[in-house]
């Protein structure tokens, strides 16, 4: 471990060797070497100004689409959950949303404001920052279809105002300026679309009925291949209920891997690889995982 730096002017919380299993929806993951939860944006800038250029830096919010390996994360982890939580209507059909705002909260508030289509955000687990980073979607709609502009911050604490034209966006894929993280986004909604709280409730009820929401998971593990569904391929390969250690392919929804019984990150990662291999053997399709896998393997 590198020596712990001092941040005498930081107002936020700094922890050392913080278990990431306490901060991910899978409830697995080794320790973060330095774990920082800023008090606000100004506090984050102060912290970043004190970092060495060669210090590894990782940013996350709710940890809902994240697998941290059992050996943990070197360097600094920025915990953004609950920090950048502004949500305001800035014009008739535009809202300004902080990256820490949960997508379900965004959906509900936009419906109250009469802004649509916004119901689909309720089908995205996690916060807006993660949805921006991967162009998350649900019910046939995607995050970046609504994005007009974003505010980002780089590792030196400099903020940038970017437009959607600065990013190359695809299915569950976003490429833009390197080493920048999302602080907020301006979203544009359609004046011709009337949102419905009843539709949102139907979506949430369907999600509850078809997904194993009571058990630790990351949401959908794999991207849907063109013209097909990952869950169908996994199920027809006979993998529902397949276990490795404490990890299990859900019997309720085959594109979910659940932490059934004190799984390790290695259990989950190995099961992801097994599913990919079996589906490739059975169907000739290589599934691509949309979950982000980071950190170091546990040393034996």
Which residues are part of the catalytic machinery?
172, 220, 290
Return the structure tokens found at 264: 């390790």
Place of tokens 């697995």: 28
| CA dist., res. 65 & res. 50, Å (int) | 29
| CA dist., res. 96 & res. 101, Å (int) | 11
Return the structure tokens found at 250: 């859900």
Write the DSSP assignment of 150-203 as a string of letters. Answer: EEEEETTS-EEEEEGGGSEEETTEEE-STTEEEEEEEEE--TT----HHHHHHH
Place of tokens 């360097």: 75
According to DSSP, the β-strands at 141-142 and 137-138 are: antiparallel
C-alpha angle 12-125-180 in degrees, rounded to nearest 5 = 50
Total Cβ atoms within 10 A of residue 145: 15
Find the distance separating the first CA and the last CA of the chain, reported in whole Å.
17
Query: Reduced to 3 states, what is the DSSP secondary structure of residue 245?
Result: coil
Place of tokens 């009843």: 198
Return the structure tokens found at 204: 């949430």
Residue 16: name the closest of 85, 64, 72 by CA.
72
């Amino acid at each position: 471990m590198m020596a712990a730096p001092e941040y005498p002017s930081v107002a936020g919380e700094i922890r050392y060797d913080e278990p990431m299993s306490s901060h991910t929806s899978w409830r697995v993951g080794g320790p973060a070497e330095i774990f920082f939860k800023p008090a606000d944006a100004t506090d984050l800038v102060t912290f970043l100004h004190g970092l060495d250029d060669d210090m590894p830096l990782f940013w996350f919010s709710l940890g809902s689409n994240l697998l941290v390996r059992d050996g943990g994360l070197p360097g600094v982890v920025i915990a953004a959950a609950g920090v950048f939580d502004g949500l305001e209507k800035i014009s008739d059909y535009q809202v300004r949303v902080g990256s820490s705002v949960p997508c379900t909260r965004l959906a509900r508030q936009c419906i109250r404001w009469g802004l649509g289509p916004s119901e689909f955000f309720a089908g995205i687990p996690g916060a807006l920052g993660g949805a921006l980073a991967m162009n998350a979607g649900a019910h046939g709609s995607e995050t970046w279809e609504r994005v007009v502009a974003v505010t980002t911050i780089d590792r030196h604490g400099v903020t940038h105002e970017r437009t959607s034209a600065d990013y190359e966006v695809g299915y569950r894929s976003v490429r833009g300026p390197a080493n920048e993280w999302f602080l907020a986004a301006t979203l544009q909604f359609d004046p011709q679309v009337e949102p419905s709280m009843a539709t949102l409730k139907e979506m949430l009820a369907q999600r509850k009925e078809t997904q194993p929401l009571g058990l630790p998971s990351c949401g959908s593990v794999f991207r849907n291949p063109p013209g097909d569904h990952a869950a169908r391929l996994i199920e027809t390969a006979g993998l529902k209920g397949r276990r490795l250690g404490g990890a299990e392919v859900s019997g309720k929804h085959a594109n979910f891997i659940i932490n059934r019984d004190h799984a390790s990150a290695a259990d989950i990662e190995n099961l992801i690889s097994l599913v990919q291999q079996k589906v490739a053997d059975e169907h000739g399709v290589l599934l691509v995982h949309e979950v982000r896998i980071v950190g170091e393997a546990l040393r034996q």
